[in-house]
Amino acid sequence: MLSDKEKLLKKLMAKKGFGLPGGTAQPAKSKRSVQLENFMRVVGNTGRAVDFSLPENSAASTVERTIANAGGFQDAYLDDSRVMFVGNVACSEIVEALDFVPFNGQVLSYFLAAAGAAGAFLDIAEKNHLSRDICPVVRCVLGAAVENCLPTPDFITFAYFPCDSGARMFYALADAYDCPWFLLDMPERRGNAAAQYLAQRMKEMVARVENALGIEAVPDRIAAAVEESKETMRYYEKLISLSLAHQVCPSVHKFTTDTTTHLSRMGSPGATQGVRLCYEELLDSVETAGKIRAKERPRVIWDGLMPFYNNEIIRYMEEGCGLEVMSNLLPAMTQNIGGLLAEKDPYMYMARRQLHFAGIDDTKFDVLEPYGIDGIIRFNQWGCRRHLSVNQIIRDRLTQSGMAMLDIDGDFIDSRGYSFSQVKIRMDAFAEMLKNRSEV
């Protein structure tokens, strides 16, 4: 049975030229070229124009290039592409091996925020009765769907991790597009039993795609995608080793954005290239310094996503408060990558890799000591039940270990509630406390 929100989305999309399942003749689904034009129309009215003709290997560090290459964005709008909607947690090696173009609406919403264009889609969602306390990613993606701005998918795969609101979004999209789908149903805990269960679910996903679309999964292509994924992980391992050995950290904003994008494209050469560039940039900074540097200022972990529309908070903490800010994703990745790479069975490797990142929230505070972390800054996304529900648990745990913690409330997509002045005073006090501790 459909939820009220799913019924509403289906009704709204029918008004935008989508066919409804059942009986009588239906209007043809919009061509993807029209959907791209719709997308550009909305973006052009609210943010900077996005140049989708920029080459993929362009060295220009621009928001336009980032959006154009976010998760294969361009290719998803080609009429002859085989498109799969995926979430941040998806078996991307299988997506790559089956020759799908992955379209990650969640990652896209991050880059829309960076381009100043997310607000238009958020407004569309709210005008169509999606409450502001729903995840902004969900509102952004469904707002784009209502305006027929997303490329029509051939298949949709998703999981209940990291949250069930994202899963409900994909259920709604699958129904609106009348599209086959698969719930990956991923355990939140690690362990051999969990990996075996997830590996079996991945095999069932492949069978579902084969039956729904009449295509064949070639084992050699899956094996090749897994080997490419392992190469990406090797560069992550190099980056982590370099960071620990020389006490240097990648840019928190860039590392968070890049890693979120790369993780949804594991198994592709693009992901390997992206992580390799992150590693080489860090290596350049180490070689420029010429020596292992001592920690010169308090180092804090930024826990959670960050405002993609504005880097002001991070910049002020580093330049104004004199803190060194590191992404929580970096220490979380220190967990036994070598053991992961040793896995020979392709499906067990994919399952273990997925669980490796799925367990980040459970273990990320267990690996802070080698990085010399002095405090945690936890960004509380307004309306995120999963993040907020464990806030006091984390605070209690950090208090027991003597770790300082600062909460910042905000929204990483929706800039309308952003106010730097509201958090500046608290950041100043937190930085002063850390400096006083380091002097004792």
Among 8-12, 130-134, 419-423, the range scoring the smallest mean pLDDT is 8-12
User: What span, in angstroms and rounded, lies between the C-alpha atoms of 138 and 143?
Assistant: 8
Task: State pLDDT tens for residues 187-200.
Answer: 777 788 989 999 99
Of the CA atoms within 13 Å of residue 362, those in its CB half-sphere come to 12
Task: State pLDDT tens for residues 261-300.
Answer: 777 788 888 888 888 888 888 888 787 766 555 567 888 8
User: What span, in angstroms and rounded, lies between the C-alpha atoms of 222 and 88?
Assistant: 20
Q: Can you tell me the mean pLDDT for 242-247?
A: 80
User: Beta strands of 304-422 (E only): which ranges?
Assistant: 324-327, 375-381, 404-410
Tell me, what's the pLDDT at 25?
Answer: 39
Helices (H), 24-91: 32-46, 63-69, 73-76
Task: State pLDDT tens for residues 154-208.
Answer: 999 988 776 777 888 899 999 999 999 998 887 777 788 989 999 999 999 999 9
Tell me, what's the pLDDT at 208?
Answer: 94
User: What span, in angstroms and rounded, lies between the C-alpha atoms of 124 and 120?
Assistant: 6
Please determine, for residue 323, whether its predicted confidence score (pLDDT) is greater than 70. Answer: yes
Tell me, what's the pLDDT at 345?
Answer: 94
Q: How confident is the model at residue 53 (pLDDT cuts 50, 70, 90)?
A: very low
Please determine, for residue 86, whether its predicted confidence score (pLDDT) is greater than 80. Answer: yes
